[in-house]
Amino acid sequence: MNDLKILIDMDNTINDFTFQFNEYLKRYYNTELDYSVFENTYHIEKAIKLNISNKKKEKILEEIFAMDDFWLTIPLIDNQVYKVVKELYSDYDVYIATSPWRYNDKYKSSKIEWIKGNMPFIDTSRIIFSSDKWELEGDIIIDDKSEVIENCKKNGFITIMPLHMYNKNTKADYSFKKWNEVLTILKEIEEKRS
Ligand SMILES: [Mg+2]
């Protein structure tokens, strides 16, 4: 096994959180996301296509997040991610690093249940809950959030970022559109090290 420690984010990195939120807006609120909002920001509630106050939009977000099945049924982000993460898990020292909503036990256990259901090869002791991921120990981080990428870069991580509209101006060391590209990226990182 390789000694590189890799931290992998969940929402919008291995799962399609944005898609799921849009599905719930359609199903329960008869509306959807205005994706153009993500050109500027990733405050998902601001992208709700309803002519209502931000406070009311926040309330919708809270209602959706409070539904247990919302978290448990988020789909994988692409058809390669399962296979690639499984391969990484057997070759490297892999941890899931995620920041649960509101940081309470209910949301933490939803995250654990999602991993059990979708990536059962991951030992749940390898799930780390943190919002300041740059303070964690690790060599490589895979994360979609600009703030995480920038701070981890400063703290010596090699950063790999799944590309989304809202992070297109963030300069990660490596970025990708499909998960199968991550294997090539890791080979490149290994070659640079040796
Ligand atoms: Mg994320």
pLDDT in tens, 166-182: 999 999 999 999 999 99
* pLDDT (mean) for 3-22: 97
SS3 annotation, 79-106: CCHHHHHHHHHHHCEEEEEECCHHHCHH
* pLDDT (mean) for 88-104: 92
Greater confidence (3 vs 19) lies with 19
Q: How far is the CA of 26 from the centre of ligand 1 (A)?
A: 22
Residue 39: band (very low, low, confident or very high) from pLDDT cuts 50, 70, 90: very high
Each domain of the chain, given as residue ranges in start order, spans: 5-15+77-193, 17-72
Taking only the tens place, the pLDDT of each residue in 66-92 is 998 999 999 999 999 999 999 999 999
The pLDDT value recorded for residue 100 is 81
The pLDDT value recorded for residue 29 is 97
Q: How far is the CA of 1 from the centre of ligand 1 (A)?
A: 27
Q: Rounded to an integer, what distance in angstroms lies between the CA atom of residue 48 and that of residue 22?
A: 9
Q: How far is the CA of 121 from the centre of ligand 1 (A)?
A: 21
Mean pLDDT across the chain: 96
Nearest to 56 by CA among 42, 68, 45: 45
Residues in the chain: 194
Phi-psi region of 33 (alpha: psi -120 to 50; beta: other; left: phi over 0): beta
Whether the predicted pLDDT of 2 surpasses 90: no
The pLDDT value recorded for residue 1 is 59
Q: How far is the CA of 194 from the centre of ligand 1 (A)?
A: 30
* pLDDT (mean) for 85-104: 93
Q: Partners of 97 in the beta sheet?
A: 128
Taking only the tens place, the pLDDT of each residue in 118-147 is 999 999 999 999 989 999 999 999 999 999
Reading the block at residue 182, the tokens are: 């991550």
Q: How far is the CA of 162 from the centre of ligand 1 (A)?
A: 9
Q: Rounded to an integer, what distance in angstroms lies between the CA atom of residue 144 and that of residue 8?
A: 10
Whether the predicted pLDDT of 103 surpasses 80: no
Residue 41: band (very low, low, confident or very high) from pLDDT cuts 50, 70, 90: confident
Q: Rounded to an integer, what distance in angstroms lies between the CA atom of residue 89 and that of residue 129?
A: 18
Asked if residues 160 and 182 have their Cβ atoms less than 8 Å apart, the reply is yes
Asked if residues 134 and 152 have their Cβ atoms less than 8 Å apart, the reply is yes
Choose the CATH number for 5-15+77-193 among 3.40.50.1000, 3.50.50.60, 3.20.20.70, 3.40.50.720: 3.40.50.1000
Whether the predicted pLDDT of 5 surpasses 70: yes
